[in-house]
Amino acid sequence: EEKSARKRALTAANQNAIRVPFRVMQLAHESFDLLEAMATSGNPASASDAGVGALCARAAIRGAWLNVLTNLAGAGERAAFQELLLDGRRIVEESAEREERILAAVEKQFA
């Protein structure tokens, strides 16, 4: 009974260890809307801040994604997380595109 309870506790902890960094990915991804607005139509003096924000948001997404993948490896029930994996991959890909677009907008202001 103790082994079963321990296994359930570990499973629950591991699932949380997957969902928390995934939530970080989602929140960092949401910041791109504001950062892009800052870069394209905000105060020119804050354009570089938007660029740095895009770099940081993408780094947060990539770092959290690595945590998700690491914790999924020990989850033992990877099939239960297929939708999360698909969404995570989408966020990683979109973040690269958004970062590139924001940095281009920032650099355009200084060309």
pLDDT, tens only, 41-87: 999 999 999 999 999 999 999 999 999 999 888 766 677 788 999 99
Strands (DSSP E) contained in 40-110 are none
The reported pTM is: 0.88
How many CB atoms lie under 10 A from the CB of residue 101? 16
Largest CA distance in the chain: 68
Instruction: Output the CA–CA distances (angstroms, integers) from residue 48 to 17, 52, 73, 105, in the order listed.
Output: 34, 6, 38, 10
